[in-house]
Amino acid sequence: MQDRQYQHAAAAQLGGTGIASFSDRLRDGVRGGGPFDEDPRKQGFGSGEATDPNGAAINSGATASLAHDTDLVQLGLAGNLRSFSFKDTASGVVVRGDKVDYNGSPAGYADQPDEIISYVDAHDNETLWDSLTFKLPVATSMADRVRMNSLSLATTALSQTPSFWHAGADLLRSKSLNRNSYDSGDWFNTLDWTGADNGFGHGLPPLGDNGAKWPFMKPLLANPALKPSATDVQSATAQAQALLELRFSSPLFRLGSADAINTKVTFPVSGTTGAHQGVIVMRVDDTVGADVDPALKGLVVVFNGSTTAVDQGLPGMTGANLALSSVQSAGADPVVKTSLWDSSTSTLSVPARTVAVFVQR
């Protein structure tokens, strides 16, 4: 955007400046829709789009919408670089980041990964937990809600950019669905570090910015099954802590330059007939380019946002030595421990609503 005096600091203008901006592209791909939707039930990659429909009319055409949201998430994982190329989920055609659409603008706009801050929630708009409450089917179990919270956080924690989590995202923080809590006081903004009260169900948030959505809010806020217990919060915290350990378990999650990302990061099943709906497979191959992690040949990360376990074929990896990261195999989450790699068939088996990191030696 240009005027007669100067160039505005709009996101699309920041590539090459070394100035970072918060990328709404990944946020919207994960959460679904946008923060100003009249119906807040539009689903995304991290909230069950197409694989766990909530029945709202706004999700008509969810298969095509999920394909595009998957592209936004994949591009975000690769630094939201304009130069990054990958196969479009829907068609299998190779596309550059700056050719992926985001509401009429290029989705990829960064020249380097440090020009992007990846996030799925912040101080404004609904918290991640509240967004999931709007979007997941009401009957979704609390354990599965916690897992989708973790999966959504994983898209930032395991991305190639600086990662941002809103305070309390690992504690399932809620503001009782309040979309603008700036002037809502401690009643809606409280953050209970003990996990005993995540903030959900404190009442209807103020009319001004929320009244139009009261019809959606009232039945949710009155449903005691949607309020997590302290035990649920503890489980979420353990899963979130594991994501942070994974991010710093290898420098391959922080390659630091566009050249390295373009050389090493691929999405090997994107746009292929072997891909599963609601599943992203990211490979970071340390056998090409400069050796970043002498202890590993690479990483393979599977984001399974669907409601079913998947057996995902991995092209070109037959015989490879892959194993679940020790962070997860020795961690607190019993579900991810059931993830398997079959080298003879080049198949990764990953449970529903799970992010699994496999290391290659």
Residues contacting residue 240 through CB under 8 Å, at least 6 positions apart: 150, 153, 165, 169, 170
Q: What is the pLDDT of residue 5?
A: 62
Distance in angstroms (rounded) separating the CA atoms of residues 81 and 76: 8
pLDDT one-digit tens code per residue, 251-264: 999 999 999 999 99
Whether 8 shows a pLDDT value over 80: the answer reads: no
| Domain's final residue, options 215, 247, 279 | 247
Please compute the mean of the pLDDT values over residues 21-37 and round it to a whole number.
96
**Confidence tier at 1 by pLDDT (50, 70, 90):** very low
| Model pTM score | 0.96
* pLDDT average, residue stretch 238-244: 98
Note whether residue 204 is domain-resident.
Answer: yes
Quick one: 323 and 240 in the same domain? no
pLDDT in tens, 145-163: 999 999 999 999 999 999 9
What distance in Å separates the CA atoms of residue 175 and residue 202, rounded to the nearest whole number?
8
Residue 24's domain spans which residues?
Answer: 11-247
Q: How does 297-310 read in b/e, with b if 16+ C-beta sit within 10 Å?
A: bbbbbbbbbbeebb
| Domain closes at, from 201, 220, 247 | 247
pLDDT in tens, 186-230: 999 999 999 999 999 999 999 999 999 999 999 999 999 999 999
Q: What is the DSSP letter of 219?
A: H
The answer on pLDDT for 12 being more than 80 is no
Q: Do residue 43 and residue 81 come from a single domain?
A: yes
In a domain, 99, yes or no: yes
Helices (H), 38-141: 62-77, 128-135
% of the chain with per-residue pLDDT over 70: 97
Residue 3 pLDDT > 60, yes or no? no
The pair of three-digit structure tokens given for residue 293, joined into one six-digit string: 């992690």
What pLDDT sits at residue 166? Answer: 97
Does position 340 have pLDDT exceeding 50, yes or no? yes
Q: What pLDDT does residue 14 have?
A: 73
Partners of 298 in beta bridges = 285, 360
pLDDT recorded at residue 16: 82
Q: What percent of the chain has pLDDT over 90?
A: 94
Q: How far is CA 164 from CA 38, 124, 157, 244, in A?
A: 26, 14, 8, 11
Q: Specify the CATH number for the domain of residue 340.
A: 2.60.40.1180
256 assigned to some structural domain: no
What is the total count of domains within the chain? 2
Residue-averaged pLDDT of the chain:
96
Q: Is residue 133 in some structural domain? A: yes
d(CA 195, CA 237): 9
| Whether residue 64 has pLDDT greater than 80 | yes
Which pLDDT does position 96 carry in this prediction?
98
Q: Taking residues 321-331, what's their average pLDDT?
A: 98
